[in-house]
Homo-oligomer: A and B are copies of this chain.
C-alpha cells in the first residue's frame, strides 16, 4: 500500500510554523509497518491544491491531507477537492445539525462563516470531529482514497487515532501485520542506549526504533511478519531483552506515562502525596494532576518560590537557608519534611534549584538542583548538576528527576538513579523512626 501525505497552508510553506503534524502522521504509519513514500506541502492557492490532489492521487493508494478545513476564506481544501473530482460542493445537513448542537451547548449563536465547514464534495463521506467545528471527510479520486483532516493538532490526532488509522489498518490486515511495544526510559543518553541495544541478539522479525521525548526516550519494539502469534512471542522476547538491558531506567510501558504509572503505584499502595516546589514552580504536581483520578492520592502542593515562603509555608528555619543557601541538600530536606508534616501525606517531594540564566555562582552554577523525598520511614536527598541546556530544559529535567525518585521508591528500585547527563554531587539517606 502506497501512502502519501499532503500538507496545506501558507503558514507551513512560509516557515511560520514547523510541520510537526506531518511528523506525527508519519509515525502513525511507521507504527503499522508502512513508511509514507512522499510528502507534499502546498499553500492556500486553489489551483495548486487542485493540481496537487489530481497528480498525487494517481500515484498513491491512501493520501492523508492535513489542514485547510477552517471557516475562513483561506481554508479551501474542500473546494479544491470538489474541483479536482469534478463534483459539486454541497451542504451536508448532518454536519450543519452537529454544528448547531455544538453552538447550542455553548449557548451561542453560530456565526454564518461556520456553515462553510459543512460544504463538502457531493460524494464525500463525513468523518466525525468530536472536539472541533471542522469535520473531516474521505473521498475517492483516481486510484487514491483521500482523507481530509483538520490542521489543529489535537483535532487531527483524535480523528487519525479514532477513525482513520483503524479504517486503514483494517484495509491492510490482509497481507502483513505488525505488533508493537513501547518502553520508555529516563536517564540514559540516546547514544549509550543505541550502543547497548545494538548488541542485543533479537528475532529477525523485530526492529527497534528510538524516539526522544525529552527528558524520556521511547524504545519501540516492532515485530512485522505474516504470523501474528509468532510476532507476539517475538515481540515479548525482544521487549524482555530490552528491559534487562535498561534495568531500573525503565519508567513506564505502552499506554502509560510517568504520571499514570505513579498514580497506579500510589493508589495500589494506599499512599498520598504532597510536593514542595521552587524552581519548577508547580510543574511537577501539575503533570500528576493532569491524569483523571489523581485526586485519589494527590493532597496538595507548596510552591515556595521565595525564601520567606519556604520559611512561612514549610517551616524551613531561616538560619538553615542563610547557612547553606536555598539550593542545598539541607534546605531541600527541610522542605520535604515540612511539606510532609503540614500535609500529613505519606510522601513529600521537594526541589530547589538554580534554573538560570542568572543566579549561578562558581560553587553552585546554573543547573545545580537539590531534591529530597520524605517517606513514612526514610528520607532521601540529593544534589545534582543538571546540564545547562536552558531554563526550560533545567526545569523539565528537574521535574522528571523528582518523579523518578518517587517511581523508583514505589517500585523498590534504588531511589538514587544514575543519570547519564546529570551528575550527582552529594547525597544523603536517613532512616527515621516510623
Contact = CB atoms under 8 A, between A and B. Distances in A.
A19 B18 contact: yes
Contacts of A131: 389-390, 393
A298 interface: yes
Given A106-B421, A210-B72, A303-B301, A24 B30 contact: no
A38 interface: yes
Interface stretch (A40-48, A86-94, A402-410): A40-48
A19 B17 contact: no
Interface size class of A (residues with CB under 8 A): 35 or more
A275 interface: yes
Interface stretch (A169-177, A191-199, A236-244, A328-336): A191-199
Nearest to A303: B301
Given A198-B73, A313-B300, A389-B131, A14 B27 contact: yes
B72 A194 contact: yes
Nearest to A189: B111
A37 interface: yes
Interface in A336-353: 342-343
A356 interface: yes
Contact of A25 (B15, B106, B313, B357): B15
A387 B283 contact: no
Contacts of A295: 305-306
Given A285-B303, A303-B275, A72 B191 contact: yes
A10 interface: yes
Q: Which of A133, A285, A421 neighbours the largest number of chain B CB atoms within 10 Å of its CB?
A: A285
A42 B294 CA distance: 41
Interface string A23-39: 11111001000011111
A226 interface: no
B35 A292 contact: no
A420 interface: yes
B37 A40 contact: no
Contact of A11 (B16, B39, B198, B209): B209
B306 A108 contact: no
A50 interface: no
A45 B38 CA distance: 11
A79 interface: no
A37 B292 CA distance: 43
Nearest to A212: B152
A285 B281 contact: yes
B292 A391 contact: yes
A17 B305 contact: no
Contact of A38 (B42, B220, B358, B385): B42
Contacts of A256: none
B285 A282 contact: yes
A98 interface: no
Interface in A288-328: 288-290, 292-295, 298-306, 308-309, 312-313
Given A17-B211, A194-B73, A220-B16, A282 B284 contact: yes
Contacts of A11: 209, 211, 220
Given A113-B191, A343-B309, A358-B292, A14 B40 contact: no
A294 to B, nearest CB: 8
A22 interface: yes
B301 A282 contact: yes
B306 A300 contact: yes
A214 interface: yes
26 contacts: A10-B209, A11-B220, A13-B35, A14-B30, A14-B36, A15-B25, A15-B26, A19-B19, A19-B22, A19-B23, A71-B191, A71-B194, A72-B191, A113-B191, A113-B194, A154-B389, A282-B284, A286-B286, A290-B395, A292-B391, A300-B302, A300-B303, A300-B309, A301-B301, A303-B303, A313-B313
- Ranked nearest first, the 4 interchain pairs of A and B with the lowest CB-CB distance are A282-B282, A281-B289, A15-B26, A301-B303
